[in-house]
Amino acid sequence: MKEPMKYLMYEIMTLIGRCIMLELRKNSKNANKRSHRKLLRLLHKNRNTAYGKKYHFAEIHSYDDFRRRVPLSDYSDYDGYIKRMLDGETNLITAAAVDFYADSSGSTGNPKRIPVTRKAALEMTKYTIFTPFAIDWEYFKQRSQKLSTGSVLFMQEYSADRLSNGAELGCITETPLKKIKPFLRLISATPLPVIFPSDIKNMDMKYLKMRFSIEKRDVTYINAIYGIVVYEHMRYLEEYWELLCDDIEKGIISAGVQLSEANRRELRPYLKPNPKRAAELRAIFKKGFDTPVLPQIWPRYSFTTAIFTGSFAFYLDKLKKYVGDLPFSYFGYGASECGIAVADKMNSGDFPLVQDGAFYEFIPEDGGEPLTMDQLTVGENYELVVTNLSGLYRYRMGDMVLIKGFMNELPIINFAGRKDKSANIVGEKTTEEHFSYAVKELSQGTGMDIIDYGVWVDKETEPPCYVIFIETPMLPATKAQENKYRHMLEDKLNFANSTIAFYIDTKQMGRLTLCYLKTGTYSRYFDMLNKKAGTSNQIKPAHIIVKPELADFFHSNCKNLF
């Protein structure tokens, strides 16, 4: 009975996703009026909160009133209110119930506790869980191909902590999992105790996700938050496939796998010897990973969903090694504050705005008054400002977006990175995009498989210079080759940002240093972030390194080649 129910649930989730996307496209025709009406309704609902009284929400009847009365804000404007909310006070910044706080500290930055109302969590669920099914359906329908149905490998986990006021604290991406928990047992490729771990910091999550999922034959897609998470799991599969196959054959979880005895007992009902499947998998893996393996181990596999914009664009090409020509859904663009935009087609990082979760304003890149969506110019960058469903008003997120076009009245955006996130010695402002371009060009020009990279601005040298760390199994064989690779990387970086050459020539910047990392450095870095954040949902790669302790970590893992 479980298999027919699984396929029925897959079809239902696809239908829900299609309805959500149809509504988005329909509402794009009068997006401007809808957004202003939504703003006024939101202010009316919160007029009697402490924040609403302070800024006279009851007297706001238009956007112009709103702009005049309510100032732009950042987290410091809410910190005091949120601390009081955590102590049990209500009706401070929102009249709605708050039973979840998003821990937005992640792997970088200072800890923040962003309140999330039930309505906001529901909106997040709509666009993170259901729309990928619809995009998959549309993609294959356009190609006259039948939609594959089966299991889904969810790489997120739910591990929120309970606060003293009764609310939960965790990653915003965890909230959709809780909303659909009753359905997950039908479609998940892993047991529920893997998605809802009881002791995540003492569980080898990469092992558990891959061990249970590759035993199944009917996995149709991977749903992860960030592209780096998928990439790290694929690297784990490539390195530990023999262990995984042995355990599948015997129906066990090896004693060497980090897992408490209580968790082992919890997972025991899901284990049984499967020598036939183990033999199938061994035959595939023994051929090597030069040919994409996911379509081989999962014949129904059709696409991968994760964020592949911003820092995560670096991992897109790397994953093609494992999935081949199968499409990617870039998920969309969101934050702890709200879901902002959603992917509406495969293989694209251009997303239409989602209106359900916030009212948006846009500050021009060069400064000036915030604009509304009907005042935007295609091709221009803007800093995003949100008024959301959870008590943040005219909140400066620090994210930059590029306007790529419009779906009727609805802007189509591309995430352009964090405001002022660049490596900067003398005003050259080299962005992560510049560095990623240069590293990819080095990889293609030399044939090196570069697993990952990081950049540190070394201001202790004279003159200051960039230090670029790379991990690769293909090291230069001679000192001359090492110098050649360094010059090639510098040339590509100069091409990406032509101001660098000028500053080097005038000796305001030194020539870059290229450091080769020990094997496994980035796996250790990933595990370190995972342990700190408590969940892979929060992991974001630091390609531009700003913390001295992180630079020390990479320096300590550099190889001395010659």
Domain that holds residue 508: 422-556
What is the token pair recorded at 544?
A: 């531009």
Q: Is 513 helix (H, G, I), strand (E, B) or coil?
A: strand
Backbone angles phi, psi at 117, to 5 degrees: -80, 165
Look at residue 401 in the predicted model and tell me its pLDDT: 93
What is the model's pLDDT at position 250?
Answer: 98
Separation of alpha carbons 338 and 22, rounded Å: 21
Angle at 519 between CA 516 and CA 523, to 5 degrees: 110
Task: Give the residue from 414, 452, 407 showing the smallest Cα distance to 542.
Answer: 452
- Residue 518 covered by a domain: yes
| Sign of the dihedral through C-alpha 539, 542, 547, 553 | positive
d(CA 41, CA 61): 10
Q: Are strands 168-170 and 98-103 parallel, antiparallel or unpaired?
A: parallel
For residue 460, tell me if it sits in a domain: yes
Burial class, 556, CB count within 10 angstroms (exposed 0-12 / middle 13-18 / buried 19+): exposed
Instruction: Render each residue's pLDDT in the chain as its tens digit; 562 residues.
Output: 467 788 888 889 999 999 999 999 999 999 999 999 999 999 999 999 999 999 999 999 999 999 999 999 999 999 999 999 999 999 999 999 999 998 875 334 457 899 999 999 999 889 888 999 999 899 988 988 877 889 999 998 888 888 888 899 888 888 888 888 988 989 999 999 999 998 888 899 999 999 999 999 999 999 998 898 899 899 999 999 999 999 999 999 999 999 999 999 999 999 999 999 999 999 999 999 999 999 999 999 999 999 998 778 888 989 999 999 999 999 899 888 999 999 999 999 999 999 989 999 999 988 889 999 999 999 999 999 999 999 999 999 988 999 999 999 999 999 887 776 778 887 788 888 899 999 999 999 999 999 999 999 998 888 889 999 999 999 999 999 999 999 999 999 999 888 888 788 878 889 999 999 999 999 888 888 777 665 665 566 678 988 888 999 999 999 987 7
Quote the CA–CA distance of 131 and 176 in Å, as a whole number: 13
Question: Is residue 234 assigned to a domain?
Answer: no
Q: Which residues are registered as beta bridge partners of 469?
A: 454, 515
Residue 473 counted as domain residue: yes
What is the domain count for the chain? 1
Residue 135 domain-assigned?
A: no
What pLDDT score does 109 carry? Answer: 47
Q: Does residue 552 lie within any of the structural domains? A: yes
Number of helices (H), then strands (E), in the chain: 21, 21
> Which amino acid makes up residue 171?
C
Within 13 Å, how many C-alpha atoms sit on residue 407's CB side? 23
**pTM score:** 0.83
Alpha carbon distance 242, 199 (integer Å): 26
Residue 385, domain member (yes or no): no
Cross-strand partners of 406: 411
**Whole-number Å distance between alpha carbons of 7 and 28:** 32
C-alpha 280/C-alpha 429 separation (Å) is 51
Phi, then psi, of 129 in degrees rounded to 5: -100, -45
- pLDDT value for 44: 98
Spatial distance between the Cα atoms of 281 and 293, rounded to a whole number of angstroms: 10
Residue 81 near residue 92, CB atoms below 8 Å = yes
pLDDT at site 427:
76
The answer to the question of residue 481 being in a domain is yes
- SS3 of 150-174: the string is CEEEECCCCCCEECCCCCEEECHHH
